[in-house]
Structure 1
């Protein structure tokens, strides 16, 4: 599992990005009551065995991409990019045996290593008194999309209409990641915009390559 705070330097920016958009996401009512991502259940159920991504994770990625398309169409964020990140960060919410509930909640909770300045990570002293990440000494990345507490406070949103903004809910995490990527990259259909977004998520060019490779595989309908 990679940490979204693994600020490693890498090789020159790779060519050939961004990855393909993949299977089109059906139009849905993004303002629906209840869990809006449920509207994508048939789409996700058909695609899940093809790409090897849990259906609930696919619903979360696709819903986030659809919201981004509606709210910020100039961003051009594809679900495949979110899926590439989700694979690297948490194996789509299944890291160390975690599972995704019907409402998108992840259990057991997924927490990254202490961000203590070792193994290429930044040192980030506790910023939330352990309230979010359970660590009152150092920050840890949280949930299926591995947000650090400070970033979560800025970008976290409630995507499943349960009244909570949780980094441990896949819907919330995926939509929050979409907002963060769009804000940092502006237009992810361009190599420059896509790389800006990915380097904001993790300052490693190798990380961006890995996301691109996974996203491309998902776009082509093949698990790796």
Structure 2
């Protein structure tokens, strides 16, 4: 995605060690088949999926979320038991896993043919912001990642595109240049187009892992006809970020999360 600037610039050396992997033959568990291309295995559908999620808010709608008890996971709490079990296997906090599960269900209710698995969202979240924890940020029980994760200014510096401010600093606090924001690193213009209110608190917030993960799911599924084939999955990920190295890193992490969660 054009908005994924945080790691593409200075932060990449701090967050990840890029691992190049072969993508010629990746098998789905239980399928007995391999497929040409980077087919990402599924981590399994979280049990007892909730009813269809809330309708996305209008583009650009924002607001302050209602104050919730510190132990309240909101809509993602429907996956709390599952997330607690999986977090014992996968090195991702339970609260964040629940958000990825909510994102999978959110898009499945609206675009069931996409076949997006939570493991892909988890892999994107890992590369983009260390699951909302980049720079010492913490994901609170309500899903908010704080302090806010904001990328460097898109000011035309070497290796960086130039994008003048489009949101009057509403999302990124910068009134001169745009910056990628939130745990899934969206540009303000992209967020205004795609941002959804997945947790039903009345606002689509890029710094909320629930909304950000679901928005990433919607964006990915709009980029391909299905993510259950190698070419389809690859097309979606390279739309999110037009880098083969990025896509291979997401692929590696996706399959590792899936295999670990199914053990």
2:120 aligned residue (81, 85, 107)? 81
* Runs of 4+ residues over 6 Å off in structure 1: none
1:133-172 map, 5 Å? 133-172=172-211
Alignment partners' CA distance in 1, 2:226 and 2:197? 24
8 A Cα contact 1:124 1:138, kept in partner? yes
Stretch deviating more after TM superposition (110-119 or 95-104): 110-119
Change in CA separation of 1:44 and 1:73 when aligned onto 2, cut-off 3 Å:
same
Query: 1:18 maps to what in 2?
Result: 39
Stretch deviating more after TM superposition (117-126 or 76-85): 117-126
8 A Cα contact 1:155 1:179, kept in partner? yes
Alignment partners' CA distance in 1, 2:211 and 2:250? 20
Alignment partners' CA distance in 2, 1:118 and 1:14? 34
Provide the TM-score with structure 1 as the length reference: 0.89
Alignment partners' CA distance in 2, 1:198 and 1:120? 21
2:238 maps to 1:217: no
Greater radius of gyration (CA) = 2
Query: 1:111 maps to what in 2?
Result: 150
Q: Residue 31 of structure 1: CA displacement?
A: 4.1
Any gaps of 5 or more consecutive residues in structure 1? none
Alignment partners' CA distance in 2, 1:121 and 1:190? 32
Query: 2:223 maps to what in 1?
Result: 184
Alignment partners' CA distance in 1, 2:210 and 2:151? 19
Q: Residue 151 of structure 1: CA displacement?
A: 0.5
Root-mean-square deviation (CA, aligned residues, Å) is: 2.3
Provide the TM-score with structure 2 as the length reference: 0.77
Q: What number of residue pairs does the alignment pair up?
A: 217
Alignment partners' CA distance in 1, 2:149 and 2:74? 22
8 A Cα contact 1:3 1:89, kept in partner? no
> How far does the alpha carbon of each residue in 1:196-215 deviate from its partner, in whole angstroms, 9 at most, with x for none?
21111111010000000111
Any gaps of 5 or more consecutive residues in structure 2? 10-19, 25-36, 55-72
Change in CA separation of 1:3 and 1:54 when aligned onto 2, cut-off 3 Å:
farther
Q: Which of the pair is proportionally richer in helix?
A: 1
Q: Residue 32 of structure 1: CA displacement?
A: 6.8
Alignment partners' CA distance in 2, 1:183 and 1:209? 20
